[in-house]
Structure 1
Amino acid sequence: MSFTPNLARAQFSALSQTYNDLPVTFFDGPGGSQVPQSVLEAMQAYLGFFNANLGGHYFSSQQTTQLMLQAREHAAALVNAESKDNIVFGANMTSLTFQLSRAISREWQMGDEVIVTALDHYSNVSSWQQAADDKGAIIHQALVDELDCSLDIEHLLSLINDKTRLIALTLASNTTGSIVDVKRVVDAAHRAGAMVYVDAVHYAPHHLVDVQALGCDFLACSAYKFFGPHVGIAYVAPKWLHALKPYKVEPATDCGPGRFETGTQSFEALSGLVAAVKYLAQWGSSHLSLRERLVESYRDYNQHESGLSERFLLRLSELSGVRLYGRQVADSALRTPTFALTFDNHSSETIARKLGECNICVGNGHFYALGLVRQLKLEQSGGVVRIGFMHYNTLEEVDTLFDELKAILGD
């Protein structure tokens, strides 16, 4: 079956609803995607018939054990992990990152150095700042290139030295959509003996993650950003799976990914995760492996999303008094279809509120990318309007957005 946005849209009940007798348009994908019916049904089926814990000698517990394995297999296929055993689950990316930061930083010493970036969501900044503070390590923050709101790679590379223990950076900005050349940073970090922790939360709905190609030590993402429920996923490279000493309760397993997973997992969310990965892979040829089907499906998503970005940039050029922060290209290799705007004569909150009154759902603020809005001197003025498309959005919806913006701006 070939991908079309309409075939995708038909699987999402939220996209066909009306509110206050008006249709609804979701451009808030970077804050959380909508969920297809298959994900809802999978979660309901698990809770309705198989709700249990692991380790029991009865059918629902055995079903839950199989579900856990299946979820690891599907997540491993999504990020191209070496094994399902390199996949760790948690409440969300932020909680997982704080948790893993405790284990990763155990051996840090006074004077060690850590590099974070001003482009990142602060889940991948504050966790490392606090871990460094606990150990007396020094934090450096790589700057944003203000010309296109991408990461200043040269500045980051200049910060690496033999005291660098870890570099934390994003694959794509959740605010400007800029994609980062993480592989270049990983290579430089490993030459210096440093680890790399990658935030793929914003990248994963738009591009297929490949941890083996990146060579990163850790990578984290969240299923609710790629059409699934609230569950965090972390990849731990094979060399660190048993080398790190996690904080855990004594009776819990000390073998495999379970050594990093505290408490009982949300098995219904893992059921939804499996369904979300299947949804993402559905446009691939049926005879292929799950990973290969994902590769084919994501090619379709990239092509469609590039078209959405192209239409957005074309229509944006018709407006006056608007500034775009980010790469002014539609190429999906350079950006996701996520755009950050400010308006000369209207606050970001005003624009977002007026669009919201029309059921056009966009975000405004800093989106936890504090380093970015501070460097751009936008924090005190209310940050930016963020407009983010997913593959279920259409060119007609982009046109509707700009028709409303023209009315708001009086253009």
Structure 2
Amino acid sequence: MAPVAHSSYDVDRIRWHFPALREGAAHFDGPGGSQVPDAVATAVVGTLTSAISNRGTVTPAERRADRIVLAARAAMADLLAVDPGSVVFGRSATELTFHLARTLSGDWGPGDEVVVTRLDHDANVRPWVLAAEARGATVRWAEFDPATGELAPDAVGAVITGRTRLVAVTAASNLIGTRPDVRAVADLAHAVGALLWVDGVHATAHVTTDVPASGADFWVCSPYKFLGPHLGVLAAAPGLLETLHPDKLVPSSDAVPERFELGTLPYELLAGTTAAVDFLADLVLPDPSAPRRDRLVASFTALEEHEDALLATLEARLRAIPGLTAYSNAKRRTPTLLVTVDGHDPQALRAALAERGVNAPAGSFYAWECSHHLGLGAAGGLRMGLAPYTDADDVDRLATGLEEICGRARATPTARSHSHTGGSVA
């Protein structure tokens, strides 16, 4: 029997719904993919074991497929505060970005420019760089401050010109957690008639998302980062999507958003996505009669408070470890920490923590430009990310593990925050 539910954030009740946690590990690998609640697995299995076929209106199997697709669009629309007709599904956020980059760059040419940032995951860099190269357009780079981790709007604005066609920026760094001011960047892009493409993969898992309020023209995210199955989602205004004509098969639908979806959709994964959004909407069990969007806002508000409190405890202990350098220093960020420790290879730290039942991966996590800009190269660092199921015991196990591996703090902590010259006393 599940623990008794309360209206506040009850992490014990939430954890009960995650079968994977019964294996005993403390999971800090959520930025790479979260664990999945029972309701999501049930939805996937239920779909796979039901009669289903291509979408239609004649047979029960056809109608079931259609309902699943429409329900998933409605669920993601509530999560992102968009119209269901804005929602496009794909294999991954990376695939969707490559697909739309080819479409959006169709009329680019010499003299046109695209702006990317050093803060981003390579999935929001390389598609645009390759598209620009193919069309003879110019790529301009916005730099973030490696000491603070901040990507200032002015740094992006400095490389936006009247020739800019598109600006690509992250809503939150998957490596160091920084959350740039997307709305300010949107205003700068729109002032010169450019489009704004936002990688919301990391941010959507942690904070209330309102795509229209962000100013983003395109927003991509991945349900497997927020308790769902492996899938990619793109949101863009239906009117904007109507103006775009991607390569597609002749017989496939030319309607929006279907014209952007290649092949038959994975119905079982769409059902799992709907279940994940419904689970998130009930994290704090608000009024069940309230609209799902309202419940999602209430849940994410409570989730942020929960994760921020745990992060404060974790940071206080980790930053006191001798020789530790923290690279997650922005004022506004997700509950994500990237660190290195003098004399300890990040992969060795990862392995030593794993022996203690703590899953915290190491590397650069496809944030290629970001890791190199921090001076970490391809090796990156040890990354720890919190999730809705993280509890105080998990945090204590992680902190205690690193203290045992690296040594506890001396009377005067020597932990450092990263600076361009190699770190300064925190």
After superposing on structure 2, the runs of 4+ consecutive aligned residues of structure 1 that deviate more than 6 Å are none
CA distance in 2, matches of 1:354, 1:61: 51
Q: Which residue of 2 aligns with 1:20?
A: none
CA contact (8 A) 1:352 1:362 kept: yes
Aligned with 2:148: secondary structure?
coil
Deviates more, 1:232-241 or 1:37-46: 232-241
Q: Which residue of 1 aligns with 2:163?
A: 163
Query: What are the equivalent positions in structure 2 for 1:236-275 lying under 5 Å apart?
Result: 236-275=236-275
Instruction: Say if 1:71 and 1:193 are closer, same or farther in 2 by CA, change over 3 A.
Output: same
Query: What are the equivalent positions in structure 2 for 1:66-81 lying under 5 Å apart?
Result: 66-81=67-82
**Residue type of the alignment partner of 1:115:** V
Q: Which residue of 2 aligns with 1:45?
A: 46
Q: Does residue 5 in structure 1 map to residue 7 in structure 2? A: no
Q: Which residue of 2 aligns with 1:214?
A: 214
**Residue type of the alignment partner of 2:368:** L
Q: Which residue of 2 aligns with 1:292?
A: 294
| Alpha-carbon offset, residue 56 of structure 1 | 5.7
Q: Which residue of 2 aligns with 1:308?
A: 310
CA distance in 2, matches of 1:38, 1:50: 20
**Residue type of the alignment partner of 1:24:** A
CA distance in 2, matches of 1:250, 1:328: 48
CA distance in 1, matches of 2:211, 2:166: 17
Q: Which residue of 2 aligns with 1:326?
A: 328
Q: Which residue of 2 aligns with 1:103?
A: 103
Matched residue pairs, number? 400
Q: Which residue of 1 aligns with 2:66?
A: 65
Q: Which residue of 1 aligns with 2:361?
A: 363
CA contact (8 A) 1:150 1:326 kept: no
CA contact (8 A) 2:20 2:35 kept: yes
CA contact (8 A) 1:33 1:225 kept: yes
**Residue type of the alignment partner of 2:118:** A
CA distance in 1, matches of 2:238, 2:271: 25
TM-score by length of 1: 0.95
| Alpha-carbon offset, residue 254 of structure 1 | 0.9
CA distance in 2, matches of 1:260, 1:121: 23
Instruction: Provide the alpha-carbon RMSD of the alignment.
Output: 1.2
CA distance in 2, matches of 1:95, 1:296: 31
Query: What are the equivalent positions in structure 2 for 1:24-35 lying under 5 Å apart?
Result: 24-35=25-36
Kindly provide the CA deviation profile for residues 227-247 of structure 1, in whole angstroms up to 9, marking residues without a partner as x: 000010000123311101111
CA contact (8 A) 2:361 2:382 kept: yes
| Alpha-carbon offset, residue 328 of structure 1 | 6.6
Kindly provide the CA deviation profile for residues 372-410 of structure 1, in whole angstroms up to 9, marking residues without a partner as x: 111111115x21100001121012211111111111113
CA contact (8 A) 2:328 2:336 kept: no
Q: Does residue 335 in structure 1 map to residue 337 in structure 2? A: no
Structure 2, unpaired ranges of 5+ = 1-5, 409-426
Kindly provide the CA deviation profile for residues 295-344 of structure 1, in whole angstroms up to 9, marking residues without a partner as x: 01111101101101110111123311100002276xxxx11110000111
Deviates more, 1:392-401 or 1:65-74: 392-401
CA distance in 2, matches of 1:173, 1:257: 28
Query: What are the equivalent positions in structure 2 for 1:79-228 lying under 5 Å apart?
Result: 79-81=80-82, 83-228=83-228
Q: Could you tell me which of 401, 406, 409 is aligned with 2:406?
A: 409
CA distance in 1, matches of 2:152, 2:77: 30
CA contact (8 A) 2:326 2:340 kept: yes
| Alpha-carbon offset, residue 152 of structure 1 | 3.6
Structure 1, unpaired ranges of 5+ = 18-22
Deviates more, 1:31-40 or 1:366-375: 366-375
**Residue type of the alignment partner of 1:345:** G
Kindly provide the CA deviation profile for residues 246-303 of structure 1, in whole angstroms up to 9, marking residues without a partner as x: 1111111111100100111111000000000000001332121110010011111011
Q: Does residue 15 in structure 1 map to residue 21 in structure 2? A: yes
Q: Percent identity?
A: 38
CA distance in 2, matches of 1:404, 1:328: 25
Aligned with 1:209: secondary structure?
coil
Aligned with 1:300: secondary structure?
helix
